[in-house]
Each structure stands twice: as C-alpha cells, then as structure tokens.
Amino acid sequence: MLPSSTENNTQPWFERRPLVALAPMEAVTDCAYRRIARSIAPNAVLYTEFVPARGLLAGAAKVWEMAHFEEMERPIVIQLYDSVPEALGDAVAAVREKYQPDGFDLNMGCPMRKVANRGAGCGMMATPDIAVDSVRRMVENANGIPVSVKTRLGIRKRDEVVDLARACIDAGAEQITIHARLKAERPREAADWTALSSAACKLRVPIIGNGDIWTVSDALKMNSLEGIDGVMIARGGIGNPWLLQRCCQAIADEAIDPLPDREEKARVAKMHLRANVELKGERRGVLELRKIVRNYIKGHIDSRRTWMRIIETITLTDTLKVLDDFARGPDDSQ
C-alpha cells in the first residue's frame, strides 16, 4: 500500500478545490462503486462505507472488506463509527498500519436506530465528552493522517453542532462535514442550508456541506454559501457517478459534461456489476446491486420494464443481457 497524501507531504484532501465528495453510505460506497466513481470523477474525494471499529478489532473479514481500497481510489477517507473511544483509537491504528488512507472520519451523523441508540453515529452528539475523547484518540493514533468528523446540525436544536464541532477541532479534528438536518429529520424533510451556513461561519476549519444535492445547480448553490468550502453528495450520487464529475467541473468553472445517454448508463452499470461480482461472487454481487442499478436506468420510458426484468435475474449473464437491451432502447432523451 502506498503512503497517504499526508505522508508524501502533498496537499491534504480537504484543501483541494473544487472540493466535491461522495458521501459514506452503507451498502453503496463499497470498493466496487468507488472504482466506478473514480473512473468518471478523477478529482472527487471518496469515502468508504461507515465501518464499525470493534468489528475491525475483532478481525471480522466482512468488516475489513469494507475498509479495503485500491490505490486508484485515492484520495480516500475511511469512516469509522463506534461508541467506545478506545475502540475508535485502536481501529485507527490497525487500519493505518495496513492501509494508509488519506484520512479518517468519525461518523457522528448516522441517525439509524441500530447505530444511534447505542451511542454511536448521531447518538454520539448527546455525549460530547465521549465524542471529544474519540476524536482525541483517533488523532493520537493516526500518525499525522488527518482526522475529520461528519455530523448533523444537532439533535433538537440547529445550532448544537457549533460547540461540539469546536470541541472536536480543539481535540485535533482538521475538517468538519455537516449534514443540514437534525437527528430526527428524514430525507423527505428539506435540508436547512441557512442553518448550515450559520454554523459553518462559526468554525475555523474547512467545512463541507451535505444534504439535498441532486443537481449541478444544487451543488453550485451550496458551494456558494458563506462558510462552506465544499459539497458532499449522498443519495443524488447513487447510480449517478456523473453527478460528481459534473459538479466538480461546474464549481471549477469548466465546461460541463453532457448528461449520460442510455448507452453510457448501461455501459457503466455493467462495469459496476462486473466489479461487484468480481469482489463478492456472482450471486451476492448481482443481488446486492439491484437497487443501485435501478438508479442507473431511471428516467426513460422503459425504465420500469427494465427494472422488472432485472429483479427476475440472478446471474451475471442474464443481468448483462437486460442492460444490453436497455442500451438499445428508443432515443427518449429530453
């Protein structure tokens, strides 16, 4: 494994501009999808799925699989979650020794009950002493690799993040990403970009905004908010790696690539499918990718028909055949 950008004395990942990141998402941002994203968006920052620290320390093969990355994925940030500071610190040491990522991120934003109710993810916002101790231990064991935090506006109030983020920064966090929602707010509720900007202006490290970026226009608007240094794309980037590249181009004031046509969507979906099968085996690789393939093919008159065919397939050959048929479909671009 090559040394991280920090060890090479190059620019830390969060100082690059434009700063566009693909959010850590469970069962989405695995190695297969990150490879696809990197092939299309060479300048985006990529995150792993959120990885359980104690799972790493227990030597669980599937958990270590989540932390694995390839050199072509750099810059790559490994996101960890847990409720035990010692476990987070020890996990950083273990991963650093094996992989040398470009950054470590503490998940303090996941609202899922199975995570938050155990004091991890967004649940850690309720225990600031544990949060700060976690950051401190991660920094101590990172050996100079930057440690960052991804969090939310708060649990109940939209300014809670400010004091917590300041304390994490004092403990050594070099970058903060803020999801512009409260813990209990779900995706159907609009992200509060006003509160996001207000919080960002009160913090002294680079701030990435997250929440409701579906288009290039959304990314430009968020990136222009006072206090915001970059944008993180989550749901909008599922099965849509072109959005990452187009946002990078727009923020850099470069010519923007056209939207992908159905042939391009099918080509990349097949690449993703093959990569997933290569990493996880045929049955698992095909079945796991169904929901993401649905995003690749949406927006066409035969999208639903294609999707219904895909959910009936269980082999790589059959799924590729469906995507080939989709690629040859009618020209219904808008």
SS3 81: strand
pLDDT attached to residue 246: 99
User: Tens digits of per-residue pLDDT, 141-187?
Assistant: 999 999 999 999 999 999 999 999 999 999 999 999 999 999 999 99
Alpha helices in the chain, H assignment, sequence order: 31-40, 53-57, 61-67, 85-99, 113-116, 128-142, 160-170, 193-200, 216-223, 241-251, 262-280, 282-288, 290-297, 303-310, 316-327
For domain 13-251, the question of CATH label 3.20.20.70 is answered with yes
Sketch the domain layout of the chain as residue ranges: 13-251, 262-327
pLDDT attached to residue 330: 87
pLDDT attached to residue 28: 96
**What's the average model confidence in pLDDT over 189-201?**
98
CA atoms within 13 A on the CB side of 15: 9
Lowest pLDDT segment from 9-13, 55-59, 89-93, 108-112: 9-13
SS3 158: coil
What's the chain's average pLDDT? 96
Tell me the CATH architecture of domain 262-327: Orthogonal Bundle (1.10)
User: Tens digits of per-residue pLDDT, 248-278?
Assistant: 999 999 999 999 999 999 999 999 999 999 9
Lowest pLDDT segment from 8-12, 17-21, 328-332: 8-12
pLDDT attached to residue 332: 77
pLDDT band, residue 8 (cuts 50/70/90)? low
The residues near 104 (Cβ < 8 Å, ≥ 6 apart) are: 77, 78, 79, 80, 92, 95, 96, 138, 142, 145, 146, 147, 148
pLDDT at 10 over 90: no
pLDDT attached to residue 244: 98
User: Tens digits of per-residue pLDDT, 21-74?
Assistant: 999 999 999 999 999 999 999 999 999 999 999 999 999 999 999 999 999 999
